Amino acid sequence: MLVIVAPGQGAQTPGFLAPWLADPTFATRFGWLSTVAGIDLAHYGTEADAETIRQTEIAQPLLVATGLIAALELFPHPADAFSLIGAVAGHSVGELTAAAGARAITAEQAMVLVRERGKAMAQAAAVTKTGMTAVLGGDRDEVLAAIDKHGLTPANDNGPGQIVAAGTQEQLDAFAEDPPAKARLVPLSVAGAFHTEHMQPAVGHLANLARSVSTHDPRTPVISNRDGHVVHDGRDLLARMVGQIASPVRWDLCLETMSDLGVTGILEMPPAGTLTGIAKRALKGVETFALKTPDQLDAARDFIAQHGEASMIETSPTWRMVVSPGKGTFHRAEAASGAETFEPGATIGEVASLRDSTTITAAHGGVVVEWLVEDGDLVSPGQPLLRLHPEVGL
C-alpha cells in the first residue's frame, strides 16, 4: 500500500526549485499555476532568501504549485496514479495539494484557494504578536498539560515526541520559562500561531470563497488532518480544509490511519524530507522516499511500482460509494435496515472504535444498489460500506 504525502509550510528552502525548473515542461506548467496565483513563484523558488520565502503569502502557494507540478512529472499519465496510490494526505496547506491530486478540486482552484489562504493567514497573524514552538521529547500527557496550563494550543500533533505549541508571544515566553520535564523547546520561524483561534478571521474569508468552488468526490482516499479520517465526499473535504486553518493538525492520527490501511511505502512530494522523517520515527518498518530533485524521478517510480496498490475506492464497483472514515466496527442504523432509498444526508449507521464513534451518512442520497458490509463487521479506513445509484433529481 502506497501513500503519497505533501509537506506544509516550513519545508521550503532557498533555491529548492532550481533543478526542477531546468525541465522546460515543468517550467511551463509551473508558470501557468504562478499566473493563476498572481505571484512570480519561479523567482521565489530560485532566487529569494529564506526570510522572504518564510512569508506565509509566498510560502503556501510555492509549496502547493511545486507539489502539483512534480506529481505530473512523476505520473506523466495522471490516470495511472489512481491504480497505484492507496491514499493521499497533506500536512496543513499540503492538504490542498493532496485534494487536487485526488481530483476533489482542480489545480487552478487549489491555487486560488492557497493564494487567498496565505494572504488571509498573514493578515490574521499581523493582528497580535503570536508564534509557535516545537516541543521535542517529554511525556506526552505532561507536555499537553503544560501547553494547556499556559493557555497555548497544541497546533500540530506530529506523532511521538513532537508537538507544536502555539499562542501569543507572552504565553510562549512563559512556557519557555516553565517547560515540561525532559522536553526540548525549539521556537519556530513562522509568522504567527497557525491552526489556532488566532486564525479565525482567515477561516471566514476562505469559507466565503469555498461556496463558489465546485468539488468532486476524490478518486483516491484523502486522510484528513482534522481527525485522521478517510474522506470521500468533496464538499466535506473542502469544508475540513477551510476549518483546519484555525484547528490543530492531527498528523498523529493521520499516521494511525496509514498504519490501519496497511501502508508499506510513503512517498513525500517536494520539497520533501519533513514528513518522511516523522514517518521513520512513527511507523517502524514502513519504507519512505523523499522526492527532492528531478534526478530522483526514476527511483521514485521504482518505489511506486514496488508499493503501488489501488485503493478500495478505485477497485470497488462504481456509482456513488459511502465509505468508512476509519477503523472500527460498523453498526447499521435501525432506520437504514431494509431501506431501498436514502435522502441526501440520511444516517446509515456508525463506525465505532476505541477512540470514538463516527456517524455515517449518505451525503448525496440515492437508491440502494448493494450493502457491502453487514451490521457488526470490522471495517478499515476507506472501505466501501454502501453502493448507491443516483435518483433522478438527486
Q: Is 247 a catalytic residue?
A: no
Q: If you write DSSP's letter for every residue of 95-136 in order, what string do you get?
A: HHHHHHHTTSS-HHHHHHHHHHHHHHHHHHHTTS-EEEEEEE
CA 64 to chain CA centroid, nearest Å: 12
Q: How many CB atoms lie within 10 A of CB 125?
A: 20
Find the catalytic residue in 34, 91, 150, 195: 195
Determine which one of 34, 92, 224, 324 is catalytic: 92
Q: What pLDDT is attached to residue 79?
A: 79
| Over residues 67-95, mean pLDDT | 92
For the chain, the domains span 2-124+197-312, 127-187, 319-389
Mind listing the pLDDT tens digit for each residue in 45-59?
999 999 999 999 999
Q: What is the H or E stretch that residue 258 is in?
A: helix 251-261
Question: What does 137-153 look like in DSSP terms, one character per residue?
Answer: ES-HHHHHHHHHHTT-E
284 pLDDT higher than 50: yes
Q: 3-state SS string over 170-235?
A: HHHHHHHHCCCCCEEEEECCCCCCCCCHHHHHHHHHHHHHHCCCCCCCCCCCEECCCCCCEECCHH
Q: Is 92 a catalytic residue?
A: yes
Q: What is the pLDDT of residues 194-210, one digit of tens each?
A: 999 999 999 999 999 99
- Other beta carbons within 10 angstroms of residue 350's beta carbon come to 17
Has this prediction a pTM greater than 0.95?
no
> Which CATH code fits 127-187?
3.30.70.250
Of the chain, the percentage scoring pLDDT greater than 70 comes to 97
* CA atoms of 211 and 207, how far apart (whole Å): 7
Residue given cell 460498523 in the structure block: 330
CATH 1.50.40.10, domain 2-124+197-312, yes or no: no
Instruction: Return the CATH number of the domain spanning residue range 319-389.
Output: 2.40.50.100
The predicted pLDDT at position 160 comes to 86
pLDDT in tens, 100-141: 999 999 999 999 999 999 999 999 999 999 999 999 999 999
Q: In angstroms, how far is CA 10 from the centroid of its own chain?
A: 15
Kindly state the average pLDDT of the residues 364-371: 92
Secondary structure class of 351 (helix, strand, coil): strand
